[in-house]
Structure 1
Amino acid sequence: MLAMAAAATCAQAAAAAPAPEPLPVVVLDEARAGHFAGLALSCVGREYPNKISHRLEGAKDVAAPSKLYPAFYGCYDWHSSVHGHWLLARLVERFPQAPFAAPARAALARNLTSENIAGELAYLRRSSDETFERPYGLAWLLQLGSQLRGWDDPQARQWAAALEPLEREAAARLLRWLPKLTRPIRVGEHSQTAFAFGLALDWTRRSGDQALRDALVARSRFFYQGDRDCPLAYEPSGQDFLSPCLAEADLMRRVLAPDEYARWLREFLPQVPRRARADWLVPALVLDPEDGKLAHLDGLNLSRAWMLEGIAAGLPPRDRRIRALRAAAAVHRELGLIAVGDSHYAGAHWLGSFATYLMAPPDAAPAPAPAAATGAGRSD
């Protein structure tokens, strides 16, 4: 209840007149990283409860999650298990001497074996079903692969080598899908294309997969470059964890050069102010964190925060909109982090990954521009 009261206060503050001073930036220190790592460690080996995504062709296909997915059977569902492993790898790289590092390495070593990944690959190839975890889970798998590829660590290299066949299968599935996808998927949940395209594009930079990169860039331009006046006022829906408008803008900063992106954003999100205000985008509020669908809105606040930062990073450094984007990001960041706890498994099995992505963004994603460069001039 205290967290809900704090969240309500923060949301009310965002809707009020803008504060003259920006909110202090919360840094990722070892203690906070340990909290996030603890959430992942408590679920990557926890098989139940479990919501499997599994098509039965017959009675022989009935099996426990750990039999279906020998590496990624925990954390309630496959994609949450995948990004739970990403969280552990990301935080151990950042804090190699932290108390959580040894148990995190043990969990990664236990699950990311060649044998387990071969079992995962066999599951993907067992039938003609190409829709499994597409695109969200496949994109997170690529993000895990990108993290392991970029981590200069002997164990990480072993895990990356073990994961590579599954990584390549995920990339191949996306590459087969893209030419057949005639429309973008503009929802606020797992099937959204914009967020998944962004994760996959980041992976192509590290893996060197030019074919997938070219296909993603072409589809992104085809789907999104002509968009105008995104209806941000209609967001969020009641169980979103991704913003359709902001995810699209966060994707397109990966596709367009800064000056071109600034012009595109002016037409796509004309609502973004040119003064340092946060009240133009009000955070979401969760009243029942035990409801797994309603708790999605806690993740929305976190993903909005990193998307707003990403949009700001994609603009020329003197663009006047940067301060408003960062002001809104700070409010969403503060409210989103309040919700990252272990009281309710509905959120605990996945919110730590979203918080980690916000506070320790992948190296493949552009870093935010220095705050000192955001004040004067304009390019929009």
Structure 2
Amino acid sequence: EAQRWLRFLLPLERQAVANISEWLPKLSFPIRTGEHSQTAFAFGLMLDWAEIAANEEFHSLLKARIRELYAGDVDCPLAYEPSGQDFLSPCLAEADLMRRVFTRTEFAEWLTLFFPTLSAETGSDWLAPAVVTDKTDGKLAHLDGLNTSRAWMLQGIMHGLPSGDERRAPLRVAAEAHRKAGLDAVLGDMHYMGSHWLGSFATYLETARGHSPGANP
């Protein structure tokens, strides 16, 4: 059945790659929102697909543009996050993206400049989970998704660092706190405003779909 659907979707897949390939050179700046249009999250998904599909041309184009758009970024203002209706973190999504295009050593060096306050001594208050005050509000409920996406991005950043990097410990603590908050929202008291989409985020988190592709030595 999966192969049957793959055949049906191949024309759409090819057209999407063609459209994105035409658009990428025109993009002058990243789109740094915390919602649907954010480019860092989308580029990460595209890179993972390009590796699985063995589309080297698209993969090379993506990596080149990602480096041009993001490699020079420093001191991401994580303290300004989240916005009130985010379901993605602009800062964490960018870091989770860059570990896909850098070697582990390059990524460790880049992350030092990107998150200068992150160190082995970083406490559990470095990044606190967001709290939804009204689950019936479709926009405010986005914050439940933010906790879940933060969890998988923090895990991705951790896995992108060398095994002996001391920053892995505080990243693991933050990831677990966000994982618990995110899954509690999915498995607990959830309104339709969240239930119709949060399950996809929980699945992405629990299956670690974004961790293996793009892992660099």
TM range (shorter): over 0.9
CA distance in 2, matches of 1:326, 1:365: 14
* Structure 2 residue corresponding to 1:213, chosen from 51, 54, 59: 59
Percent identity reads 60
**Equivalent of 2:151 in 292, 305, 321:** 305
**Could you tell me whether the CA contact under 8 Å between 2:50 and 2:59 is conserved in 1?**
yes
SS of match in other structure, 1:316: coil
Could you tell me which of 44, 55, 74 is aligned with 1:198?
A: 44
| Structure 1 residues 1-380: aligned runs within 5 Å | 155-275=1-121, 277-341=123-187, 343-362=190-209, 365-366=211-212
User: 2:159–2:211: 8 Å Cα contact kept in structure 1?
Assistant: no
Q: How much has 1:251 moved relative to structure 2? A: 0.2
**Structure 1 position 352, deviation (Å):** 0.3
Please list the CA deviations of residues 272-298 of structure 1 after superposition, one character each: whole Å capped at 9, or x if unmatched.
131474221011000101111110000
Per-residue CA distance 1:73-95 (angstroms, 9 max, x = gap): xxxxxxxxxxxxxxxxxxxxxxx
The letter for the 1-side match of 2:185 is: A
Q: Per-residue deviation at 1:166?
A: 1.1
For these two proteins, the number of residue pairs brought into alignment is 213
For 1:343 and 1:266, the matched residues in 2 are separated by 38
Is the contact between residue 340 and residue 348 of structure 1 (CA under 8 Å) also seen in structure 2? yes
* Deviation at residue 163 of structure 1 after TM alignment: 1.3
RMSD: 1.6
Runs of 4+, deviation exceeding 3 Å: none
The residue that corresponds to 1:149 in the other structure is: none
Distance in 1 (alpha carbons) for counterparts of 2:33 and 2:190: 28
- Which structure has the greater CA radius of gyration? 1
Gaps of 5+ in 2: none
Superposition TM-score, scaled by structure 2 size: 0.94
Check conservation: 1:277, 1:328, Cα contact below 8 A.
no
* Secondary structure class of the residue paired with 1:279: helix
Note the residue ranges of structure 1 that are not aligned, 5 or more in a row.
1-154, 370-380
Code of the residue aligned with 1:305 in structure 2: it is A
SS in 2 for 1:340: helix
Taking structure 1 as the reference length, the TM-score comes to 0.54
Q: Which amino acid aligns with 2:197?
A: W
